[in-house]
Amino acid sequence: MTMAEKNCSYFIDVLASKAPVPGGGGAAAMGGAIGMALSNMVGNLTVGKKKYADVEDEVKSLLEQGSQIIEELKKLVDRDAEVFEPLSKAYGLPKDTPEEAAYKEKVMEACSIEACSVPMEIMRKAYAGIKIHERMGRIGTKLAISDVGCGVVFLKAALISGQLNVLINLGAIKNNTFVEETKREMEQLLKEGSRIADETLALVIEKVS
């Protein structure tokens, strides 16, 4: 059974427990999926309304993209737990001899690179979700504009949580090229995503105030 198939209380309880997973990464993916759902709610309230007939095709396309991101984020909750297991085993490897130490370093590096890929993917999905909210806030039904604001702040939270989880994994990686390339993409997603999310929120606040 996937984590998304468990009940919400169970997810929150196991998150709050000292069990190693789910942690911040799983919370980011699940919280991001909740945010993404709100743009889709606005889209579903827009489709079929005469007043919005002109934008119906584009709204339908945003809805499809949104549904795909929701499914991907739900999968990333489980994926984050899967990549943590080999990493936590690697931490426990002995390093008493030079051979053991070299082997441990090699395994740690490989597991950390793998573990890093999940929060990076969460950031990419959160960024894409923020862009969808930006557009939905402009063309979707005005009756549910506040929900666009709620969705975008939760996706921004997922974006920042992704960043934190990328950073902790990068700390154990020695491959400089990988570290630099990952940091560059991370910073780009964070900067652009935060800017678009903040602008979208400002627009919503202006409209509901």
Binding site for its own copies (CB under 8 A): 3-9, 11-13, 15-18, 23-24, 27-28, 30-31, 33-38, 40-41, 44-45, 66-67, 70, 74, 144, 146-147, 149-151, 153-154, 156-157, 160-161, 163-165, 167-168, 171, 201, 204-205, 208-209
Our CB check for its own copies shows the closer of 40 and 182 to be: 40
**CB of 15: closest distance to its own copies in angstroms?**
4
Identity of the residue, 113 or 145, whose beta carbon is nearer to its own copies in the bound complex: 145
Question: CA dist 94 to 20, 84, 100, 109, 114, Å?
Answer: 21, 19, 6, 15, 21
CB of 97 to its own copies, least distance (A): 27
44: left (phi over 0), alpha (psi -120 to 50) or beta: alpha
Residue 115 near residue 169 (C-beta atoms within 8 A): yes
* 114 contact partners, CB below 8 Å, separation of at least 6: 83, 86, 87
* Shorter beta-carbon distance to its own copies: residue 89 or 106: 89
Among residues 82 and 100, whose Cβ is nearest to its own copies?
82
**Closest CB 80 distance from its own copies, rounded Å:** 12
Cβ proximity to its own copies: between 113 and 163 the closer is 163
State the nearest-atom distance from the C-beta of 88 to its own copies, in Å. 12
The pair of structure tokens assigned to 19 is 């069990």
Token pair of 124, please?
């990419």
**Closest of 160, 195, 172, 167 to residue 182, by C-alpha:** 167
